[in-house]
Structure 1
Amino acid sequence: MTAASDALPPTHPSDPNAPADPQQVRMPSRNFFARHWRGDYSLVRSYWLHTALMQFGVMALSAGVTHALAHNAPARAASSALLVIYVLGVVLWVWAVVGTWRSAEREQARNRQAGMTSLWPFVAKLMIALGAIGTSSRVINDVPRLEAHLRTALGEQAASPFTVVPQRDGRAVLFTGGMNDGAADALEAALRRAPNATAVVLRSEGGWLREGALVADVIRRHHLRTYVERACASACTIAFLASEDRAAAPNARIGFHRPRAVGASHDQTPGATDSELWRAYTAAGLPDAFIRRVQDTPFDHMWFPTAQELLDNHIVTRVSPGGEYATMATQLTTRDALAAELRSVALYAALERKYPAHFSRLLDTVWQALQRNAGDAEVMALLHTQSAKLYRALIPTAPDVLLFANAQLTIEEAQALQRLSPEACVAYLDGTADAGAAAARLPRALITREQTLFSDLVQAADPEHVPVVTRAQALPALQLAVAALPLQEQRVLTLPTLRHTTPPAERCQALIAFAHSILALPEAERALALRGMYARASAPDM
């Protein structure tokens, strides 16, 4: 048996490359990774096979694995896998270029010993150096994206925490919060607790695209209706569109924008994530023009189509008057919780400060409705009806500026209801029992203006010291306003026999014309007429 040292070629004592001690001669390794790392392979093999081809394969594999995980695993798992793949890729790249560089060094040494000149080792080292600069730059640029993936891997979610609970009347399930990991499972569990539920009420700012698609699968599987009372945006829209019956309250906001991957820049170009969303929108029957508009909306913006655009583009399938489900009864489970909710609105906070007895009665009335699982529409109508009693009592004693602002707002509200339903317009202007339900259908902007005006009225009105104008005092001014109207509208307004026989559309128009006519009077007569219109109202106990 021949010794290993005897198998080595002899070296001349003067050879500078000769080892000082024959025992230090490196033994060839059978380990592929170790041999490449030492530069034992040929430069051609090291550069083209181990570096170029292997790096291309790793990139293709990582892209495929990342894509598969993004569509088939929770965000936390997908980000964890991406980080592992990225780190392994960097380690492999370092291993590949270091081994190739050493192989080039060896080939240069052999060429010098043989007295040969070859540019190939120099070119290979130059390409490695340039590649190292490019790779380092990419790694530095990837730091923000990697940090985002690290936060996701550690448990950070795309949106606010969600809650999924059956509503108290059992007719629907309330989904509140982000489309985060586990949302679909939570919806499935809530449906098991509410076997009679036929709808899901969505209140979500969005979240993970994959989770939104999973929630949509649950909705389709259970044949649920989808309903939006307040807002549903981004990934929530996928869940909303999963139903055949889709409705939104008049003041609901449904928002769309282009998605982006974790850590991607704001100017991300469309990719696989986007394609999944577009397929979902196309499957829901959305027009191409609408989808293109969404594609043109950057991730850091949100497009909220109008109610008519939502209807025209088949986002919603039916018009809802609002308040279809018992959401308030589900969320406000104690009288204190209801009081806190009311106090969060400036109007009711002002009411409590100045008229605590009225606020307490309002609270009692609404709480009784919530205890019997009343729907939101009934609750909002009660709020408006009870508040309107105080409103009508205060308005005759308000400063002229608030009096005129109230008249103008009333006209705009009546015109908004006229477009929805002439019956609602008449009920609102006549102050009938259905006035509260009609007011609940007003656009959000008008409701906000009304609450602001009411809050100002609570502060400025002085029913204890300002005398109320009687109907008799206001009659001449009211007659002037009526006289300016066409004869038919005068008859509709003044003849009691026509009050209940005139078609709602005609009576609504006459009442709006009368309000316009009052505002056209000189300022003194205008104030007198408006105050007189509320002369029969009496203030509740305050």
Structure 2
Amino acid sequence: MTSAASDTLPPSTPTNPPRKRAGSRNFFARHWRGDYSLARSYWLHTALMQFGVVALSAGVTHALAHNAPARAASSALLLIYAMGSALWVWAVMGTWRSAERQQGRNRLTGASNLWPLVAKVMIMLGAVGTGSRVITDIPRLGAHLRTALGEQAASPFTVMPQRDGRAILFNGGMNDGAADALEAALQKAPNATAVVLRSEGGWLREGTLVADVIRRHHLRTYVERACASACTIAFLAGEDRAAAPTARIGFHRPRAVGAEHDQTPGATGNELWRAYGEAGLPDAFVRRVQGTPFDQMWFPTAPELLTNHVVTRTSPGGEYATMATQLTTREALAAELRSAPLYATLERKYPAHFSRLIDTVWPKLQRNATDAEVTALLRDQTGKLYRALIPTAPDALLFANAQLTLEQAQALQRVSPEACVAYLDGTPGASAAAARLPRTLVTREQTLFSDMMQAADPEHAPVVTRAQTLPVLQLAVAALPLDEQRVLTLPALRHAAPPSERCRALIGFARSILALPETERALALRGMYADAPGPDA
């Protein structure tokens, strides 16, 4: 039985009543919940912080673009972009919740909800703008993602000392690691004094690093085929800069990774223009480069390259043993020749001649011959077949060959009268003279030779002797001025006349033959080559 007093006692209470759980004091958590005031959340946490993130990311991206490989720079940019996006979501969500809390308090106190409403509208407008920018950035981010995963700006490169040790062959794009590879190759070839460049371009930063290596080792630079875009930075670092007549050195405006338009990428582009200026390129030349879109390429002519100090000297071509370095087997030599339409036609039409050509050239490569020596040998060997086919070709090709020869002689006349005479007379210096021909004329000659191999018919061609053509040739000589007739007909003057006079007389004789009526013209041209050996000789 309990006492009555006990019935009047209040229910027992715990000695430690439960407390209300306190919110986290973490700054990021408090902002996310909207604990801070609307003014602080909007202006300090969102606006000011976003501005700071943009400035910081711009600075970091700029620093990485100049001091890190493209892969690292793109990876960092993607990381910064992802962190910036997450921070933006955190900032606007916290500000939105702060605005809602402010609206709740204002309803209780009867205060105006204008500023919370304005803040929400601004957040929504900002979200629309941010979403639009993200959609616009997708292609650029995709390009950076591919770069971060290892995609490079150009084809893979190889860097190797040439077999004679005189030069380093750089073949391929200015991709990440190109400068380190060049430095390593130079350690293996301490006597190398030049870099032979074959590159379509690549990263501007890597081109600048390659240029630093070239400058530090006081190397010469040389282009036989092509050097374009970022490769030009490396080329201009050479103390001596030369390009073969067939070389193509290309310039255009640079573009940042993933950029939709070919706009100069800020400070990187400024560095490019500064590098061109330090190399001595005139302002007008640089402006021409700046005006060339990224998806186009400007290839200045040989005189333009020399006049604007892109090259420091003209080169006859073939200065180094590049072919000997790359073509290390007979099969590689055959494949290289076969890749050219001219030699592919030669193998198909005259396989025995193609096989003898390989037999003749291969020993030269094994002895580390320069490209000039190999090219001269190729021209000499194919020239024998060319001369043998001319008398058996259709009239149209016969006349085209005569016109081409005249234009080649005129081109060489502007370069050197001695080269003009050697080329027209077919002396031992003819191959060296032919190496100085413009690219367009060389291409026309190869195309004509290929057509001639296809169309010539040695078995059914009319037989023409020199005796039959002598009256026609005399008629062509008679049409020349007297001084040119004397140079061509008098034995005492034939070799004693200055090269300039002899070149002029030979060019006049070629023009005179082309001016003959078609029948006499064909007879004269066939007779001039009548004593050439047959194609299988």
TM-score, length-scaled by structure 1: 0.95
Partner of 2:520 in structure 1?
525
Residue 403 of structure 2, aligned match among 391, 408, 412 = 408
Which residue number in structure 2 is paired with residue 195 of structure 1?
190
- For the residue of structure 2 that corresponds to 1:67, the secondary structure is helix
- Of residues 247, 250, 256, the one that matches 1:261 is 256
Distance 2:35 2:264 in 1: 43
Equivalent residue for 1:422, pick from 417, 421, 427: 417
- Contact map agreement 2:361 2:374 (CA 8 A) in 1: yes
Match of 2:532, as an amino acid? A
Q: Name the residue aligned to 2:116.
A: 121
1:240-259 C-alpha deviation (Å, 9 max, x unpaired): 00112100001111001111
Structure 2 counterpart of 1:14? none
For structure 1, which runs of at least 5 residues remain unmatched after alignment? 7-24
Structure 2 Cα separation of the partners of residues 3 and 220 of structure 1: 80
Q: Which residue of 2 aligns with 1:324?
A: 319
Deviation at 1:270, TM superposition (A): 5.2
Q: Can you give the 5+ residue segments of structure 2 that lack an aligned partner in the other structure?
A: 1-14
Give the aligned partner of residue 135 of structure 2.
Answer: 140
- For residue 118 of structure 1, report the CA deviation from its aligned partner: 3.4
Partner of 1:11: none
Q: Give matches, 1:20-31, under 5 Å.
A: 27-31=22-26
The 3-state SS of whatever aligns with 1:94 is helix
1:175-223, CA deviations, whole angstroms, 9 ceiling, x for partnerless residues?
0000000000000011111111000000000000000000000000000
Task: State the shift of 1:320 in Å.
Answer: 0.6
Alpha-carbon shift at residue 354 of structure 1 (Å):
2.0
Shift of 1:3: 6.8
Aligned-residue offset at 1:446 = 1.1
Deviation at 1:339, TM superposition (A): 0.6
Residue from 357, 364, 372 that aligns with 2:359: 364
Structure 2 residue matching 1:228: 3-state secondary structure: strand
Letter of the structure 2 residue corresponding to residue 487 of structure 1: L
Letter in 2 for 1:339: A
Across the two proteins, how many residue pairs are aligned to each other? 524
Q: Note the C-alpha offset of 1:477.
A: 0.6
Partner of 1:352: 347
Aligned equivalents of 2:105, 2:424: Cα separation in 1? 101
Q: Contact between 1:380 and 1:437, CA under 8 Å: does it hold in 2?
A: no
Please state how far the C-alpha of 1:267 moved relative to its aligned partner.
4.1
Instruction: Describe how 1:172-251 pairs up with structure 2 within 5 A.
Output: 172-251=167-246
Structure 2 contact 410–420 (Cα < 8 Å) conserved: yes
Change in Cα spacing, 1:504 to 1:258, as seen in structure 2 (3 Å) is same
Question: Following TM superposition, by how much is the alpha carbon of 1:269 offset from its aligned partner in structure 2, in angstroms?
Answer: 5.1
Q: How many Å apart are 1:5 and its aligned residue?
A: 5.9
Partner of 1:77: 72
Q: In 2, distance between residues paired with 1:234 and 1:310?
A: 15
Partner of residue 62 from structure 1, selected from 54, 57, 66: 57
Q: 1:516 is matched with which residue?
A: 511
Instruction: Select which of 35, 60, 79 maps to 1:40.
Output: 35
Moved more, 303-312 or 147-156: 303-312
**Post-superposition CA distance 1:381-429 (Å, at most 9, x none):** 1111111111111111111111100000000111111111111111110
Change over 3 Å in CA distance of 1:280–1:269 after alignment to 2: closer
* Structure 1 residue ranges, 4+ long, deviating more than 4 angstroms after superposition: 2-6
User: Could you tell me which residue of structure 2 aligns to residue 501 of structure 1?
Assistant: 496
Q: Give the stretch that moved more between structures: 122-131 or 347-356.
A: 347-356
Instruction: Write the letter of the residue equivalent to 1:62.
Output: S
Answer yes or no: is 1:90 the counterpart of 2:81. no
Q: Look up the match of 2:428.
A: 433
Q: Which residue of 1 aligns with 2:381?
A: 386
SS at match of 1:150: helix
Contact 2:389 2:535 in 1 (8 A): no
Deviation at 1:540, TM superposition (A): 4.9
Q: Is the 8 A contact 2:106 2:113 kept in 1?
A: yes
Equivalent of residue 150 in structure 2, options 152, 155, 162:
155
Letter in 1 for 2:322: T
The letter for the 2-side match of 1:343 is R
Distance 1:541 1:71 in 2: 61
**In structure 1, distance between residues paired with 2:295 and 2:230:** 14
Percent identity over the alignment is 83
CA-CA distance at 1:28 after TM superposition: 2.0
Say which is worse superposed, 219-228 or 488-497, in terms of deviation: 488-497
> What's the counterpart of residue 534 of structure 2?
539
Amino acid at match of 2:431: G
8 Å CA contact retained: 2:254, 2:262:
no
Instruction: Determine the C-alpha separation between the residues in 2 that align with 1:350 and 1:102.
Output: 78
Pairing 1:446–2:445 present: no
Question: Does the aligned pair in 1 maintain the 2:255–2:262 contact within 8 Å?
Answer: no
1:316, distance to aligned residue in structure 2 (A): 0.4
User: Match for residue 396 of structure 1?
Assistant: 391
SS class of match (1:328): helix
Instruction: Name the SS of the counterpart of 1:174 in structure 2.
Output: strand
- Tell me, in whole angstroms, the C-alpha distance in 1 between the residues paired with 2:80 and 2:118: 30
Aligned pair partner of 1:487 in 482, 490, 503: 482
1:18 matched residue in structure 2 = none
Residue 95 of structure 2 is matched in structure 1 by 100
